[in-house]
Amino acid sequence: MTENANIINAPEKAEAKKRIFSGVQPSGILTLGNYLGAIKNWVTLQDDYECLYCVVDLHAITVRQVPADLRRHTQEALALYIACGIDPEQSCVFVQSHVPAHAELSWVLNCNTMFGELSRMTQFKDKSQKHSDNVNAGLFTYPVLMASDILLYQTDLVPVGIDQKQHVELTRDVAQRFNGVYGDTFKIPEPYFVKTGMKINSLTDPTKKMSKSDPNPKSYVAIIETRDETIKKIKSAVTDSEACVKYAEGKDGINNLMSIYSSFTGKSFDEIEKEFEGKGYGDFKMAVGEVCADGLGPIREEYARLVKDKAYLEDVMKKGSDTASYLARKTLSKVYRKVGFYSVK
């Protein structure tokens, strides 16, 4: 396959398929929540869509990062993408900061986004509370950079969880506003939701999303943890005193574990309830821990191999950024022309 053939040299294929864009921050080792809520679903989309999957390192620095750790985590995230089943020959896999057009478009869209819109973003409020010593402008305008990520590639569909729905809505509003002022420029993207695994919550506080930045390591399962560590964490997950495996309001811990079990086994909640009818939480947690550990096992093994191959990972980064840059410059050039920036050929 020639360089960029997956997108640039196959216009018939690109036109026939809708385009998808998504990404995850390399702010720490990726978790079970990242896998079930995002990456596992990305893998299934590759055959039916033209996919661009990004390691969004620009987003990561809204929170202070140790530079050496950020570089390492970026490489690890890329290795995990591939270990999970993302095929660089089939999808465009790249690092966000390697395509300067993301930051360039973000400034133009900042000038077309209202202060009031950003002030209503719930994630800004949440992160401001968590990082009260570093409430920076980037944290506030983070959704504009996300809109730039999406609009830069004329994206049709954005795989999101419920917590990101607000950002896609803002992206649509900004795109429609820009198109209304300057003429047809951006495709208006649609959110793409999956039925299960949309949002995997913390094991210690199942009312909150599982996060790799949580200071309590018992709250999440890292994808590359050992089998024993995975089972141990699932067994210690917070549940309730009812001792009944049933998906219901107020049973956040059990609902969360049922979502995890469903994502790995493909079983419906009704089927899970019947399977564990009359059984206690101990049996259920062990079953969840084992299917989780077994499901992540092949990923852990492939990741261990890939992360040692720096030359291969850098080659993937280079080819991916070349493909992404080609597409991004087409949109950015159009935007610059629309807003009136002077260009010299």
Residues 185 and 288 in one domain: no
Active site residue 246: no
pTM assigned to the model = 0.86
The domain that holds 55 is classified in CATH as: 3.40.50.620
Is residue 201, in this structure, part of any structural domain at all?
no
The answer as to whether 198 is a domain residue is no
3-state secondary structure of 131: coil
Which tokens go with 293? Answer: 């550990």
- H/E stretch holding 25 reads none
277/284 Cα distance (integer angstroms)? 10
Say what the pLDDT of residue 194 is.
Answer: 67
Give the pLDDT confidence score for residue 211 in this predicted structure: 85
325 lies in the same domain as 236: no
Token pair for 269: 């909640």
| Cβ(138)–Cβ(65) below 8 Å | no
127 is catalytic: yes
**Per the domain annotation, does 4 fall within a domain?**
no
Residues 296 and 314 occupy one common structural domain: no
Q: What is the pLDDT of residue 105?
A: 98
Spans in the chain with pLDDT lower than 50? 1-14
Burial class (CB in 10 A: 0-12, 13-18, 19+), 183: exposed
Question: How much is the pLDDT for 269?
Answer: 94
pLDDT of amino acid 171: 97
Instruction: Flag whether 200 is in a domain.
Output: no
Which member of 40, 127, 251, 285 is catalytic?
127
Long-range contacts at 14-18 (CB < 8 A, ≥ 24 apart): 14/50, 17/48, 17/49, 17/50, 18/49, 18/50, 18/156, 18/157
Are both 17 and 85 inside the same structural domain?
yes
Burial class of residue 12 (count of CB atoms within 10 Å of its CB; 0-12, 13-18, 19+)? exposed
The domain containing residue 37 runs over which residues? 11-192+310-339
CATH number at residue 299: 1.10.240.10
